[in-house]
Structures are given as structure tokens and as C-alpha cells.
Amino acid sequence: MKSIAVLGSTGSIGRQTLDIVLAHREDFQVIALAAGKNNMALLCQQVIRFNPELVSVPDEDAAKQLRDLLAEISPAARPGKSRSLPEIVFEGPGLEAVASHPGADTIVSGVVGFLGVRPTAAAIRAGKTIALANKETLVAAGCAIMPMARQYGATIIPVDSEHSAIHQSLCGWRNTDIKEILLTGSGGPFRTWSKEQIAAATVDDALKHPNWSMGPKITIDSATLMNKGLEVIEARWLFGVSAKNIRVIIHPQSILHSAVEFADGSVVGQMGVPDMHLPIHYALHWPERHASREVPLLDLVKVGALTFEEPDPERFPCLPLAQSAAESDDTVPCVLNAANEVAVNAVLRRQIRFAEIADYIQRVLDLHQTVSKPSLDDILEADRWARQAANELLGALAK
């Protein structure tokens, strides 16, 4: 029986993780949960259902709301052990306490954005196995996080479907056997749109992903192809290859989740239906394979044709921006990530247009004085600086 702690339990990755726990009660129990404060009723239901020892919320007000919600449900209506309520902690240290809970075997890092860096670092210091969905941790801080994982003997199993596919393709082989990583992506909702159409795209157009149902930030990143660029940086750190050896390929059907071309010319990939339950199931069960009750099976005959295209850097300028940042061992990827997070939030709040994202990020990058071979503290400072610069730019644009 593995004990699981989930960071971001009310989000898309968190909810699907808990589906798997429910479908495999004999294999998993939930020991700790962390969430934001946008879905308190759902968090309350999760506490009642999974009976964790520890729950983290962002602030005191959210902790009070959760306590009140739990108190409304009479103990008699709570199943089994959930009659005794969990310890509730809040703010940053709460998230880190969940990530390093002494009883947890696997930590699912499913929060979104740079917020994932500190708790993932805490899980690493505690030597945990981390099922990592939060790609921004490696994008912004890969150069500090990967050596830490080696130092503390922590294991990182990727949850991103592409990186899960690469992890599976690499089983038994060394990264020195790799000629090229073939990182696939659907191309997002604007794959067939002209530059002029993309220039007029609205946030609602960008939120209509053709194949995947995900949280709002990654859905916008998929529409700009920034998501693919962030994944190049993530793959670089996870698999220890140069960004030059990671090729992005557009594959609209999202069936081949990624592949590795080896030195002898063999290409080994992983296929499956486009459903995040599959890579989460793999990461939770790793290093074993268990039958899946929650993922529909792939019928290749029904799929018919698989097609592949080159990405278009002209229509999707965020991709080359991130690919060029992926080459560096400095604070540029961290600043790119922070500027992108601020820009995506501004798009979601309808403060800037979708088509302005790349230009906005470039302007923040132009202001940045890079720090090479940064420590985790340098990265935290670069992130703070970049958010301030990005928000000042946003303020100037609004005038």
C-alpha cells in the first residue's frame, strides 16, 4: 500500500489522481492534500472521502472556511476514520509540510506555475518519489532541482504525457544512447489558423483545446505552443540531453505521446488515448505496471491515420522563444516562465490580447540581467524580479 500526498488536489491533475486512488483502493491511500481556495466545497468532499492526516490551504481564512464546512457535516455522516478531522495548515509552509509528510511515499506535484518550486524542493530534501506534473518547477529551476534530487536520492517520475512517454521509451537504455527526442504536441486550437486569424483570437477561442481537458493556464500555453517550449526545457533536465537534440513535432491526433530516436536509428515511442489518467496511473504505480480500470483502451484501427507536421515558428513565436531559453544554464528560463505566467493571467483576465503574449515575454526578457549557474535562492530572486517587471509593464500598457 503506497501513501500518496497530492499538491493541487482540486485541479485537473489532482482530481484525476484521486480517481486512480479510488479505482485502486487496495494499492493506495491518501495521507495529505493541498489545494487553493477556489473549490472549498470540493476540497471538503475530498477530505471526507479520503480521510487525509494533513490538509494545506493558502491562508487562515481558507482554513476557517474548510473547518466550518467540515463541521457542518455531522460525524455520523462521515465514513469510518474520517470522523476525526485532519490537521489543517496554511500558507507556504503548509504546502511544504504536505510535500514532505513523513508518512508519504509518493508526492503528486499538481499545482500550477512557479508555486510548485518550493514544495517540490521540500519533497526532494525529504528523499520522496515525486510524480511531477508541475513542469514549471523544472523549467524555472531545473539547474538547481536536478542536482538536489541526486544529492538527496529523490526520484522524479514525470506525469506530463510526453515525458511519461519518453520515460517509458528509455526504460533499459542510457541517455547517451539517444540521438534525438521526438516531443509531440497536438498543435492546439490554432494549428490550422492563419497569422491574421490568430491575431484576432479571443481567450475563449484559446480555451477550446481539441484533444485534452486541462486547467486554464496549460490550455492557454497549449494554444501559444509555449507549452511545447516549456516541455523542451523540462525534457532537457529530466533526461539530461541538450535542447538541440529535442525536436518538436506536431501530431494532431495526440496518440503517439512522444518517442526517442536511438543512435542505431530505431525510434521507440509510447502510444495511448489522450487521457491524463494514463500517465498518472503509470507514475503512481511505477516501477510496476498494473491493469488500468479508468483509462479507455486504444483501438489503432479506429484511429486510422497518424499524421506529423513541422511546427510553424512564425505563427507560434512563443515556441522559438522557449527553445532558445532551453539552451541556457542561467536565469533566462525562470524569467521566461514568470513573464509567461503573468501574461497568461492577464489574457485570462482579458487585460491583454492572446496574440500579445510573445511580445510581452520578449520585453521582460530584454530587461533581464542574467545570472549564470544560479542557486535556488538566485532563481527565487529572478522569479520575484521578473514578476515585478512583468506587472510594471502590464501597468504601463494599460495607460
Ligand X SMILES: NC(=O)c1ccc[n+]([C@@H]2O[C@H](COP(=O)([O-])OP(=O)(O)OC[C@H]3O[C@@H](n4cnc5c(N)ncnc54)[C@H](OP(=O)(O)O)[C@@H]3O)[C@@H](O)[C@H]2O)c1
- The site for ligand X (CB under 6 A) is made up of 8-14, 34-39, 58, 95, 110-112, 115, 133-136, 160, 212, 214-215, 217-218, 276
* DSSP string computed for 89-148: EEHHHHHHHHHT-TT-SEEEE---SGGGHHHHHHHHHTT-EEEE--HHHHHHHHHHHHHH
> Based on CB atoms, which residue is closest to ligand X, 251 or 393?
251
Strand partners, 178: 262
Q: Between residues 261 and 345, which has the closer beta carbon with respect to ligand X?
A: 345
CB of 14 to ligand X, least distance (A): 5
Q: How far is the CB of 235 from ligand X (least distance, A)?
A: 13
Cβ nearer to ligand X, comparing 37 with 49: 37
Take residue 14 and report the three cell numbers written for it.
489532482
Alpha carbon distance 16, 378 (integer Å): 34
Half-sphere exposure of 103 (CA within 13 A, CB side): 14
Q: Which is nearer to ligand X, 62 or 260 (CB)?
A: 62
Q: Which is nearer to ligand X, 35 or 361 (CB)?
A: 35
The minimum distance between CB 323 and ligand X, in angstroms, equals 18
The Cα 119–Cα 5 span in angstroms is 11
Q: How far is the CB of 23 from ligand X (least distance, A)?
A: 18
The nearest distance, CB 337 to ligand X, in angstroms, is: 10
Shortest gap between Cβ of 160 and ligand X (angstroms)?
Answer: 5
Q: Which is nearer to ligand X, 136 or 330 (CB)?
A: 136
- Distance, in Å, from the CA atom of 129 to the CA atom of 5, rounded to the nearest integer, reads 11
CA distances from 220 to 34, 109, 157, 274, 300 (A): 24, 20, 25, 18, 29
Per-residue DSSP letter, 329: S
Beta bridge partners of 157: 131
